């Protein structure tokens, strides 16, 4: 939780209604000013609470996008879609190339960091490649927590049969998504895209049988 600055100004103080102005000092020393009306002391703790980032990770076609959209509906969090991150670099560079991964990784990192700075609750998603992405995940954790934010990880699981069926669905066309079941099978066995991130705690949801709405409610119940 971000610490309140020493100077706490309060005018028209009463038990039920007061206007307060205080500064929040982030861990990197930056100070932001916040002035609000509160009806009771509980509002104060809401206003200075941590920013939450919910990171959905799992293989292609596991349902991260639809779950993210449903989670956005029931939480009011902003949703940074993976497709939105991928789209600009795809206009210039092929999917999966080193420059494509570097640009998309930096874009997500910068937005998540700024969301933490400005206390904007956020949902985003990615495909985690075991081992290869470990340094990036640690970098993302540092970017958010150094600004007083908090990351909650959700591993989205789905069985192979369902993944291979979903990957070629028409709803995925024109969005820079993988559509070839054979390529998907290669990724599943060679790139370890179904693995759990070993150095963080993750809530696990299985989208094989559950709907996106059910998964989103499960995430909200356990993490928020």
Residues 37 and 67 in one domain: no
Phi-psi region of 119 (alpha: psi -120 to 50; beta: other; left: phi over 0): left
Residues 87 and 26 in one domain: no
d(CA 104, CA 152): 20
Query: Which pLDDT band, with edges at 50, 70 and 90, does 6 fall under?
Result: very low
Of 84, 131, 127, the C-alpha closest to 107 is 84
Per-residue model confidence (pLDDT) at position 2: 41
* 59-68 average pLDDT score: 93
SS3 label, residue 82? helix
Residues 65 and 40 in one domain: no
Query: Which pLDDT band, with edges at 50, 70 and 90, does 175 fall under?
Result: low
Q: Judge whether residue 142 has pLDDT over 90.
A: yes
CATH number at residue 160: 3.40.50.300
Q: How many domains does the chain have?
A: 2
d(CA 4, CA 22): 7
Residues 82 and 162 in one domain: yes
Per the CB < 8 A criterion, the answer to whether 78 and 120 are in contact is yes
Q: Judge whether residue 49 has pLDDT over 70.
A: no
Residues 30 and 140 in one domain: no
Q: Which of 46-60, 88-102, 156-170 is predicted most confidently? A: 88-102
d(CA 176, CA 90): 7
Residues 35 and 64 in one domain: no
Separation in Å, CA 57 to CA 30, 53, 99, 143: 31, 13, 21, 18
| pLDDT, tens digit, 9 for 90 and up, residues 107-124 | 999 999 999 999 999 999
Residues 120 and 206 in one domain: yes
Q: Judge whether residue 189 has pLDDT over 90.
A: no
Residues 38 and 56 in one domain: no
Find the DSSP H helices in the chain: 41-47, 64-75, 82-90, 98-117, 134-145, 160-166, 181-190, 212-223
Residues 194 and 146 in one domain: yes
Q: Judge whether residue 4 has pLDDT over 70.
A: no
Higher pLDDT, 161 or 46: 161
Residues 162 and 67 in one domain: yes
Residues 147 and 193 in one domain: yes
d(CA 154, CA 202): 5
Residues 113 and 217 in one domain: yes
| pLDDT, tens digit, 9 for 90 and up, residues 19-37 | 333 333 334 444 344 433 3
| pLDDT, tens digit, 9 for 90 and up, residues 125-137 | 999 999 999 999 9
Q: Judge whether residue 160 has pLDDT over 60.
A: yes
The residue range of the domain holding 148 is 52-223
């Amino acid at each position: 939780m971000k610490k309140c600055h020493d100077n706490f100004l309060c005018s028209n103080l009463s038990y039920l209604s007061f206007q307060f102005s205080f500064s929040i000092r982030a861990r990197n020393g930056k100070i932001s000013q916040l002035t609000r009306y509160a009806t009771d002391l509980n509002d104060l703790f809401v206003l200075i609470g941590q920013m939450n980032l919910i990171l959905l990770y799992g293989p292609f076609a596991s349902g991260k996008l639809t779950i993210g959209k449903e989670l956005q509906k029931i939480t009011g969090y902003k949703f940074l879609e993976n497709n939105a991150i991928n789209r600009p670099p795809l206009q210039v560079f092929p999917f999966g190339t080193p420059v494509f991964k570097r640009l998309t990784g930096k874009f997500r990192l910068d937005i998540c960091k700024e969301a933490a700075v400005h206390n904007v609750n956020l949902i985003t998603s990615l495909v985690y490649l075991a081992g290869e992405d470990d340094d990036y995940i640690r970098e993302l954790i540092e970017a958010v927590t150094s600004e007083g934010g908090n990351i909650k990880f959700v591993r989205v699981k789905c069985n192979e049969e369902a993944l291979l069926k979903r990957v070629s669905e028409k709803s995925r066309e024109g969005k820079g998504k993988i559509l070839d079941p054979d390529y998907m099978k290669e990724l599943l066995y060679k790139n370890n895209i179904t693995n759990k991130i070993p150095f963080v705690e993750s809530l696990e949801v299985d989208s094989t049988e559950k709907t996106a709405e059910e998964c989103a409610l499960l995430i909200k119940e356990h993490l928020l």
